[in-house]
A and B are shown apart, each in its own frame.
Chain A
Amino acid sequence: MLQRMYSLPAAVALLAASSAWADDMYLKVRAIGNHIECTCGCSSTIATCNMVGCHVRVPINEEIEAGIEAGRSQEDILAAVYEKYGEEMRVEPRREGFGIVGWAMPFVSLLAGLAVIPFVVRRWRRNARAQAAAEPVPARVVDRYSEEIERQLKEME
């Protein structure tokens, strides 16, 4: 039993160590593949396409792996893929030209919305003040409220 306790973790550790390089490469390829649209018809990225022997994913993965082994950066590898296979392989807008509008618009809309809030709040407060000045609450209504509050407080006691 004791032997089993020690031998199995050791085997797992050995296995894990031997496959560490492959794991690392697989994950790196997958990370880059997440930025490339697979155009085989699966509507996934190169990383998530699970078509067996996919004619799009397999060669691109090989190119990514070659790029990583050659020590090229993720940006360089992606640029080469987009250049070779076309802009439709992108899964996010470029950070230049009209692509900047694509990135900026959601945040611009959020900031615009947040910027409007102070104006709305100011208007509401102005209306509240104007209303308070125009229509003071009659004393009898205030008295009724006060009496009701007193009565309920006594009930609670």
Chain B
Amino acid sequence: MENLGYLAVLLGFLVSVYAVVAALAGRLRNNAFLEVSAQRAVLSAWLLVTAASGILLYAILTDDFRLSYVASRSNADLDLIYKFAAWWGGQEGSLLFWSWIAATYTFVAVHTGRKRHRNMISYVTAIMAGTQAFFLGLVAFAANPFAVIMSGPQITAMPDGNGLNPLLQHPMMAIHPPMLYLGYVGFTVPFAFAMASLITRQPGERWIHTTRIWTMVTWLFQGIGILLGARWAYVVLGWGGYWGWDPVENASLLPWITGTAFLHSVMMQEKKGMMKIWNIVLISATFFLCIFGTMMTRGGLVSSVHAFAESEIGIYFVWYLLLAIGITTYLILSRLDYLQSEAELDSVVSRESSFLFNNVILLASCFAVLWGTLFPVISEYVSGDKITVGAPFFNKVNVPIGLFLLFLTGVGPLFAWRRTSTESLRRNFQWPALASAALGAALFAAGIRHFYALVCFTLCAFVAITIAVEFYRGARVIQAGRGLAFVPAVLDLTHRNTRRYGGYLVHMAIVLMFIGFAGAAFNLVQQQELAVGDSLAVGNYEFTLTGVTEADNANYYSAVARVDVAKNGDFLQTMLPERRFYHASEQPTSRVDVRYRLREDVYVVYAGQSNDGKNPIVQVYINPLVNWIWIGAFLLVFGTLVALVPNKVRRSPVRARAAGAAAPKEESVAATNV
């Protein structure tokens, strides 16, 4: 069976290489047969990688411990869902998983775009199949998941596997890596279309129209992946936080930031024909950062808590990145004439300028994260000092940049395209500025002195009000025109311009998340060894240990502490933090118990045993406002989905009718002053 799996990987690699060669040769020689052959090769590669993945999964599910990968990442008593997760729980399997997602994306992108983009689909095929071939090459020659355990000439099996890393045995971990991978790999699609557009010098912004949905969906997957990772860290790692600025966390954030910048600046190209070079650079940078992120996770460039599966494959990524960056740079430089901007700007105070600021801040933020992540390597190279750059550095650098970005989130949409009049500025800014300043003053009077938190809450109020006013004004116009009630008018308004109002919902989600981030300034924490009957006081809360329940099963030993929680003397509930010891991997983990509330989370950890082994050590965190982050996460998903819904109203635009030109099919009516 393992031979079949490896054969499928090897054939998948060869077929992917063939797809690259056939697509390029077919296009350059104008040979339709070769071009179609390349497209069919994409399907074949997908079938082969799917078969290989199926065989690996079968081996995991049937406890085939002859396979080194299965023996090291699974064990017989592992729950079914985690056996499935073992597919991407280690180096070799995760690279195969990556290859399968890449093959799926390639197949879908090529087969949905082959008719609409006849001129450039072969280049898209070559670029995507090339990326896929790179990963399949890694699986085939550097990280084979089908390698068997050998003892002399004999294939041997272990009686049981080492089990999946206990930290990964959490439902969140069954979703978080696939989401991130869907994001990482998905950015290949817009990159491939952008490059193909450059190579073929496609007129207009067709590649942007084509890839906009791809980019948004991919951006959404990446965002969900990051947020699930944060949530997993919060509920599994037991340190009371959700973001530790770990190198691998940072690596996932980088392409998301550049992707965010791209989703904004791309509007400039669509609406004004501006920033063409910039958009190509942004989408390319996003793709490169995805590869860089994979290298960070798998290549062991810097040490990380996430480095579940490091190896020496990093050098292959470096070569791949250098090659891809070299080719992309050549393509951009050789086609600067095609990328000439149809630039025009009437006023500095305009939406165009706000997009420029937005992109600069996002890129500065991205650079700050990248710089901090790589600084240990740079520092060691330059000065010989090997240091770790941790949360204090990232917080000091990124908090002010993030607040500036939050400010722009509120200000940007209030500017009109081309020019914003003084009257318009006054009308749009007056009430949000006054109301948020009043809130800031009230918070200060209430005793909040933490500078960044105060600024953050004030800005959050400002942005939230501007967004609410935008919905209100638009809905009032609809109400007046169609006689609808307010809520249906809001729905109608959103449906008329889903991209704009979906975007506002995403902005509101960011506001909610910033409220949650600011809450961290007021966290409380306490740790204490507790005997049964002992109490621990944190803030207004009192925690009393009433007992410990022990249990043992085939997978792990478990001790659950029963902790009664009271607030201001009133009993609230019994919380059950748990400590587990996994037999197969011989590793302990904590299962925290969290009382979720909008105002604050009560977060209780069974941190360990006392030195004499008699009493549990209980750690308690009071985390204000952290729930707003997860609510914001749901709104971010909802807002992005709204933005993906087609607009309700389609009609010939005024401009086309007035100029007597044919109306573009896709253009939609802007209900207001977009």
A interface, CB within 8 angstroms of B: 4-5, 8-9, 11-12, 15-16, 19, 23, 26-27, 30, 34-35, 37, 42-45, 48, 50-53, 87-88, 90-94, 97-99, 102-103, 105-107, 109-110, 113-114, 116-117, 120-121, 123-125, 127-128, 131-132, 141, 144-145, 147-149, 152, 156
Q: What is the CB-to-nearest-CB distance from A34 to chain B, in angstroms, rounded to a whole number?
A: 6
Stretch at the interface among B146-154, B216-224, B362-370, B453-461: B362-370
Q: Which residues on the B side are within 8 Å of A90 (C-beta)?
A: 387-388
A110-B364 contact, Cβ under 8 Å, with A9-B568, A98-B385, A105-B371: yes
Q: Complex: how many Å from CA A93 to CA B368?
A: 13
Closest chain-B Cβ to A157's Cβ sits at a distance in Å of 11
Interface of A, helix, strand, loop or mixed by DSSP: helix
Given A50-B619, A106-B401, does the pair A34, B658 have CB atoms closer than 8 Å? no
Cα distance, A141 to B657, chains bound together (Å) = 10
The one of A9, A52, A98, A117 in contact with B608, judged by C-beta atoms closer than 8 angstroms, is: A52
* CB atoms of B344 and A12 under 8 A apart: no
Known A45-B390, A144-B660; contact A106-B608, beta-carbon cutoff 8 A = no
Given contacts A9-B568, A12-B568, 6 further A-B contacts (CB under 8 A): A43-B303, A45-B391, A52-B607, A52-B609, A123-B343, A152-B654
B239 within 8 A of A: yes
Evaluate contact between B607 and A113: CB separation under 8 angstroms.
no
**Is B239 touching A48 in the complex (CB atoms < 8 A)?**
yes
Per the bound structure, the CA–CA distance linking A127 and B246 in Å amounts to: 45
**Is B566 engaged at the interface, CB distance under 8 Å to the other chain?**
yes
Complexed CA–CA distance, A91 and B385 (Å): 12
> What's the dominant secondary structure at chain B's contact region?
mixed
The residue of chain A having its C-beta at the shortest distance from the C-beta of B524 within the complex is A27
Report chain A residues within 8 Å CB of B542.
12, 15
Min CB gap A154→B, angstroms? 14
Query: Which residue of chain A lies nearest to B379 when distances are taken between CB atoms in the complex?
Result: A98
- Interchain CB contact under 8 A, B388 and A144: no
B361 touches A110 (CB 8 A): yes
CB-contact partner of A121 in B238, B246, B345, B388, under 8 A: B345
Question: Do A124 and B393 have beta carbons less than 8 Å apart?
Answer: no
Could you mark each residue 352-386 of chain B with 1 if its beta carbon is under 8 Å from any beta carbon of chain A, else 0?
11001100110110011001100100010011011
Most chain B CB atoms below 10 A, which of A27, A94, A105, A152: A105
Assess whether B202 is interfacial by the CB under 8 Å rule.
no
Please provide the chain B residues from 129 to 165 with a CB less than 8 Å away from any CB of chain A in the complex.
Answer: none
| Assembly CA distance A29 to B581 (angstroms) | 29
Q: Which residues of A contact B655 (CB under 8 A)?
A: 145
Q: Closest residue of chain B to A147, judged by CB?
A: B658
24 contacts between A and B (CB under 8 A): A12-B540, A15-B542, A16-B537, A19-B536, A26-B527, A37-B388, A43-B244, A45-B391, A50-B608, A87-B387, A91-B389, A91-B390, A92-B396, A99-B385, A106-B367, A106-B372, A110-B361, A113-B360, A114-B360, A128-B344, A132-B344, A144-B658, A148-B657, A152-B654
Q: Is the CB of A93 within 8 A of B357?
A: no
Contacts of A121 in B (CB 8 A): 345, 348, 353, 356
Instruction: Assess whether B367 is in contact with A109, with CB atoms less than 8 Å apart.
Output: yes
Is B525 close to A, CB under 8 A? yes
State the Cβ distance, A43 to closest chain B Cβ, in Å.
4
Cα(A107)–Cα(B397), bound, Å:
8
Given A5-B569, A91-B390, A110-B361, A15 and B537 touching (CB < 8 A)? yes
**Chain B residues, Cβ within 8 Å of A50:** 238-239, 590, 605, 607-608, 619
What chain A residues lie within 8 Å of B372 (beta carbons)?
Answer: 102, 106
